[in-house]
Amino acid sequence: MKKEIKIFFTALMFYTRIPCPKWVGHEPDYLNKATRYFPLIGWIVGVVSFGVCMGARQFWEIPIAVVLSLIAGILTTGAFHEDGFGDVCDGFGGGWTKTRILDIMKDSRIGAYAGIGLTLLLLLKYNAWVAVVFPGINWRWLLLIFITCHSLARLTAISVSFILPYAREDGESKAKPIAQAFTWRELCGSLFFGLLPLGIMVSRHACYLALLIPLVLLVAWAVRYLKKWLGGYTGDCLGAVEQIAEILILLSLVAIWKYI
């Protein structure tokens, strides 16, 4: 149990900016095993974002509450996934070979592709959340939606790493610790924490199972695309998949509500 607690705190330290106990180190073995708790981190980010959204709703209208909620989520993760999305936009937008794409993604400077991509991403995410956080929605149901969105998106991203090898031959990356071999514990842990919130939604109405359809298609497309251009994945690629998955979940949810 103590070992699992340490692995969890390692995941919390690596995937968020939330302060962790001083005894949590940077052991490569624990950092690799922390993958099993990646979707669980989504629960935490979802709860934080929900809390800020509901608190802000007591003083301001929904659009302001949604913006503050997005800011809270970004601050909690340190823009970990948004940064990956921006790097992928620059890398694949400006590079035509594996080496060039990887070099661009390592560059800390932001380019036109990243600027445009992040702007459109945040605009779409903002409008999707505004559609989800409608007046009168039950707060328990909304909390479940926040948790499901963040946990399921992280499960989608980590699924790519379960299928593809790591792309950087030199092993240099901010995501190097998760670029190792996985065991059945990482797979089972990710599936459990990633699918449990969705399972609760499905128990209320089976139609919510449809949320998995675009995510499965996203994983299939990402695996094919990344294998073609890079021969594998990088941490930035996982961040981009996570952000796209969040958008797909929200858009699918709004579409489902339109017909039920």
126-176 confidence digits (pLDDT tens): 999 999 999 999 999 999 999 999 999 999 999 999 999 999 876 555 444
- Supply the pLDDT for residue 182: 76
- Supply the pLDDT for residue 173: 52
Rounded to the nearest 10 degrees, the angle between the axes of helix 139-163 and helix 184-204 is 150
- Supply the pLDDT for residue 29: 75
Question: How far is residue 53's CA from residue 56's CA, in Å, rounded to a whole number?
Answer: 5
- Supply the pLDDT for residue 22: 81
Q: Which residues contact 12 (CB under 8 A, 6 or more apart)?
A: 18, 20, 37, 41, 44
pTM: 0.94
- Supply the pLDDT for residue 254: 97
- Supply the pLDDT for residue 171: 54
Question: How far is residue 247's CA from residue 51's CA, in Å, rounded to a whole number?
Answer: 20
Q: What is the pLDDT along the chain (260 residues), one digit of tens a residue?
A: 778 888 899 999 999 999 988 877 777 778 778 899 999 999 999 999 999 999 999 999 999 999 999 999 999 999 999 999 999 999 999 999 999 999 999 998 999 999 999 999 999 999 999 999 999 999 999 999 999 999 999 999 999 999 999 998 765 554 444 545 678 888 999 999 999 999 999 999 999 999 999 999 999 999 999 999 999 999 999 999 999 999 999 999 999 999 87
Q: Which amino acid is at 85?
A: F
- Supply the pLDDT for residue 179: 43
- Supply the pLDDT for residue 224: 98
DSSP string, 176-204: GGGSS---HHHHHHHHHHHHHHHHHHHHH
